[in-house]
Amino acid sequence: MPTLDELLATARVVSLPMKVKFRGVLRREVMLFNGPAGWAEFSPFTEYDDGEAASWLRAALEAGWQGFPEPVRTSVPVNATVPAVAPEDVPAVLARYDGPKTVKIKVAERGQSLEDDVARVAAVSAAAPGSALRVDANGGWDVPTAVEALTLLAEYGLEYAEQPAPDIDGLRQVRLELRRRGIGTLIAADESVRKESDPLLVAREEAADLIVVKAQPLGGVRRALDIVAQAGLPAVVSSALDSSVGISAGVALAAALPELPYACGLATVSLMDGDVTDRPLVPAGGELPVRQVDVDEDLLERYAAPAERQQWWTDRLERTYRTLAEVAAAR
């Protein structure tokens, strides 16, 4: 584990503009480190507390000071992502991607209705004929609404529904009720893996058909690989709205999985209007290459966060580092 001074010596904070509002933000702030194994990203969302952020820092230390496991594939299939936009804006969002064969559609946005969700899915189906469709509710529906929504959306042949209810019990109820109705839409668990103290509980409770794993929130590529192996369920690797540096960790995770039956949610750099490299990790033909990312100094300067935000991230790093050190010492 590098010292805090070693981290601070190379730390850079950038604020990357988004092409479209995603997860409620129009600018994505990330902190980067340059370690002996390469560039690493520490970018927990601003509302996360230090305890939750500690896993993200652990992932950054793995990336920058240990490196990633050997890959078993040279490229990773990825989905396009359509945020909670109006139906008429769907074609413009899809135009940012090069040949996606799978599209993930955000639903259950606060302030929107079920009718909005159905209209958005219909618009994607019309704009991307032949593509596999999946929806992501981020736990925004209660059980009755999730069942109603997925019953209405069954006509679009959804590949799966990601986190249609907020907790494990809700996922199980939705899954069972859909099966009772003869609806075969699979249930994927995301928040019920990465935000639970026991990420394997969702598998033991038979609340999902597959799991979504993310390198940063789960504490790094190796820990995520271990969780997938223990869960015994198919896995989809997704991003946390990272820069290309963070995405490279997700790609490394997907590249190291023994089996990869689904396209991964790692194409979100396409939603950004800026990056820290002149060779961003964006898909070609629905695939991302497995490679290291080289950071461009001019882009670090261009997107440097304001001084007060840099100080905010420095303070956060110091607190999170202490939290992670305490966790390590307690083992």
CA distances from 194 to 121, 181, 200 (A): 26, 29, 10
Q: Six-digit token pair at 194?
A: 């990465």
- What Rg, from alpha-carbon coordinates, does the chain have? 19
Q: What angle, rounded to 10 degrees, do the helices at 244-256 and 50-65 form?
A: 80
Rounded Cα gap, residues 331 and 320, in angstroms: 17
Out of 19, 21, 106, 195, pick the active-site residue.
Answer: 106
| 3-class secondary-structure state, position 65 | helix
Would you call 83 exposed, middle or buried from its count of C-beta atoms within 10 A (0-12, 13-18, 19+)? buried
Residue 308 counted as an annotated binding residue: no
> Do the beta carbons of residue 146 and residue 165 sit within 8 Å?
yes
Residue 162 counted as an annotated binding residue: yes
> Do the beta carbons of residue 173 and residue 146 sit within 8 Å?
no
Residue showing tokens 């679009």: 156
106 is known as an active-site residue: yes
Out of 19, 21, 195, 214, pick the active-site residue.
Answer: 214
Residue 136 counted as an annotated binding residue: yes
Residue 40 DSSP symbol:
E
Rounded Cα gap, residues 252 and 67, in angstroms: 10
Residues 6+ apart with CB under 8 A from 218: 55, 59, 193, 194, 199, 224, 227
214 is known as an active-site residue: yes
| Residues making up the binding site for Mg(2+) | 136, 162, 190
| Residues making up the binding site | 136, 162, 190
Q: Which residues are annotated as catalytic?
A: 106, 214
